[in-house]
Structure 1
Amino acid sequence: MNVPGWLLPHRITIEPYDGESAYGPLYGPPAANVPALVTETVRTVRSRDGREVTSTAQVITAPDVICPAESRLTLPSGRTTTALHIAPHTAPGLPVPGTQEVMCE
């Protein structure tokens, strides 16, 4: 079961990370108007390589949203940020919705 749409009142744009080139990071085509719940608060999290970093925004989306680490997100405030870590939240067999939490720098 996915999280109901009415619990995701914000809209964000996600440009999925697609690797590196000689000129910097490559991104896939942007997905606009992705339903999300955005909280712009400061938290300490671990990055993909295990470093302790500061996250300034946390985004909750449906579990099927494609947003690998290093993806570029545009938040409702207009601020562009980068995904540091993605955490899926599932509870198989329980009547709770699945979500995906994206920690952003």
Structure 2
Amino acid sequence: MSRLLREKWEEIACRMCPDRWKARFFSRPFLLGVGWSFGLVTGTAIVTNTTPLTTRAELRGRVAVAGAAGGLASGIVVTLASYPILALLCGVLTSVTTRLPM
């Protein structure tokens, strides 16, 4: 969906909704962002606390590259397929990687 169309949709949705719905409409992305930040900070703390100092920087760099690659890949999957396919692939990938020896 183009940016202009998305902005028009949001404008129409806000004009149609009572004020209490506007609060819900805008609070959900905010809460999603807060949850995302908590997850990112927690994940970084876990990686930092569980790796030796000599390999910590290299591992954090690899985690950052893996996160960027995952973001790019998820965008491609959603563009070519759909969100349910992305969720299915994430579930399969999670079940496979949790069974790998560390």
TM, length-normalised to structure 2: 0.19
Q: Which has the higher contact order (CA 8 A, sep 6+)?
A: 1
The structure where strand makes up a greater share of residues is 1
TM, length-normalised to structure 1: 0.18
